[in-house]
Chains A and B, each alone.
Chain A
Amino acid sequence: MKRERKWHNILPLGDLVSGDVTPARLGRLDLAVYDTEEGVFVSLARCTHQGANLCYGYFDGFAIECPLHQGLFDVRTGKPLAAPATRKLRMLDCRIADGMVQVLR
């Protein structure tokens, strides 16, 4: 039977770093929470190239650059924008509710 997805709190809104990427966890999953002008987006924190943690990367407003080889991803869609990143980032549905950043999982 398919498990029903539900919303999980991952980060108090007050801990979200404005205009930057903030690390968060959900169980054993490392997540990256991006504060952009178009709202908040959440992805798995591991780079799809060789697994570096994107939370240590350079964030310029809508693109996150991997700290290891400077692969680039659009954080709104997870789309890889520059080599050596070629595979999409896994994005999670997210929302702000009750003063928390929540993801659907």
Chain B
Amino acid sequence: MNDEVLTPISQAMKEGVITRAELRQLMRRSNFAGFLHLLKFIVVLAITGTLVIVSFDTLWLIPAMFAHGIIVVHHFSLQHECCHYTPFRSRWLNEVVGNYCGFLLVIPNKYFRYEHCNHHTFTQQKGYDPELIELPISLSRYLWYLSSIPYWYAQFEALIRHVFGRISKSEEEFIPVEERRAVIVEARTYFALYLLIIAGSVALDWWGALWLWWIPMFLGEPVMRAIRMTEHVGRPNVTDMKENTRTNLVTRPMRLLCWNMNYHAEHHYASSVPFHALPDLHRRLTGFVHVEKRGYLGAHIDIISQIVGRTPRADATGSEA
């Protein structure tokens, strides 16, 4: 039998921050809330997509694709929610939507789900957290990360490797033996569909996918990299959830795009709480999580201050694992 791991929510309940009845209320799923938010997200996506179409053959095309790309890459926030089975009440809906987002972003859903499990178990633990983004050692490394080149290299390398049926040593840590075959089949399915879309585009000489999907996605990814950095980068490599994760207070439109994932520390506290209940959980956990009131910008000011040595590096506190 396993020993109990002290999950952040068990810690919060033992400390009396939240009661079981409150938690139960917060964990309730709702297809309505999920679909309503999805509808708003799709409207924004349709608006920016239209901007790309109407700006064709003008100088506005690049800014329009960049704006559209920012929305496209935010499918990640939805996929992330789906991998926790929280945006929709029905599990199968979370699977379907998670796969749609994962396909769009080249993040195979099953693979991501397993990787993300270990991120929650070993948050910020060097050598254990598969999603850990190191605090860059210099400004040039910081910009290199934001360029998304290392990110895309890692994504495509993993996809191709899985297509060839290979699971790396570090992936063996989080993909159970009985699921490895399914992860490989998933990668092959995604890859075959990408080839099909490319072949279809060539055959029909229709490049909608290029202008409305791929180029915007690559243009927008640095924004997602910047947002993802704000969640843990520059926070200490310790197990204490009050320390290792950052919640960022951002504007309503940003919260719409990121499905409230700016309340990241709250999400780590109780990952079964759906996006629509995170603002409520945030109010209850006041004082129990690290909050960056200046939002994403403030988080990057904090990160850059540490990189240039104006404030002590958070990773100097060492890893507890």
Contact = CB atoms under 8 A, between A and B. Distances in A.
Given A58-B272, A67-B271, A83 B113 contact: yes
Contact of B7 (A45, A53, A58, A84): A53
A57 interface: yes
A86 B178 contact: yes
Contacts of B3: 46, 51
B9 A82 contact: no
Contacts, number: 81
Interface string B1-43: 1111101011001000000100110010100000000000000
A68 to B, nearest CB: 5
Contacts of A17: 20
Contacts of B5: 50-52, 68
Interface residues of B, number: 30
A69 B277 CA distance: 18
Interface string A28-54: 001000000000000011111111110
Nearest to B177: A86
A90 B2 CA distance: 12
A64 to B, nearest CB: 11
A56 interface: yes
Given A56-B10, A86-B178, A67 B1 contact: no
Contact of B4 (A48, A53, A72): A53
Nearest to A51: B2
Interface residues of A, number: 29
Given A58-B27, A67-B9, A82-B91, A50 B271 contact: no
B208 interface: no
Given A52-B4, A86-B178, A68 B85 contact: no
A53 B178 contact: no
Contacts of B13: 56
Interface of B: 1-5, 7, 9-10, 13, 20, 23-24, 27, 29, 84-86, 91, 110, 113-114, 117, 120-121, 176, 178-179, 270-272
